[in-house]
């Protein structure tokens, strides 16, 4: 029996070994991944808003 150590990668969520070219092992992990991406996007938006407010604050201070 010739069994090659096939190329594989690991699930981005739970770390389980999965076939190469896959990124996630199950529907559950896909859902978790989607939620994570959404949260990350929200965080990025929040950062933009924060930076915008800080800049606006500086602008207002420099005017008066
Ligand atoms: Zn997984």
pLDDT digits (tens, 9 = 90+) for 13-30: 999 999 999 999 999 999
15 is a domain residue:
no
Pairwise CA distance, residues 63 & 42, whole Å: 31
Instruction: Give tens-digit pLDDT for 36-45.
Output: 999 999 999 9
Residue 14 lies in a domain: no
Residues lining ion ligand 1 (Cβ < 5 A) are 11, 13-14, 16, 25, 29
49 assigned to some structural domain: yes
From ligand 1's centre to the CA of 2, what distance in Å? 28
Residues 6+ apart with CB under 8 A from 29: 11, 12, 13, 14
Note whether residue 5 is domain-resident: no
Question: Would you say residue 52 lies in a domain?
Answer: yes
Q: Which pTM was predicted? A: 0.62
| Total tally of structural domains belonging to the chain | 1
Q: Where are the alpha helices (DSSP H) in the chain?
A: 27-63
Asked whether residue 4 is domain-assigned, the answer is no
Distance 31 CA to ligand 1 centre (A): 10
Residue 62 in domain: yes
**Domain that residue 53 falls in:** 26-64
């Amino acid at each position: 029996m010739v069994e090659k150590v096939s190329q594989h990668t690991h699930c981005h969520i739970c770390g389980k070994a999965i076939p190469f070219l896959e990124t996630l092992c199950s529907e559950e992990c896909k859902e978790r991944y989607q939620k994570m991406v959404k949260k990350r996007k929200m965080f990025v938006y929040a950062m933009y808003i924060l930076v915008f407010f800080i800049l606006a604050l500086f602008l207002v201070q420099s005017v008066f």
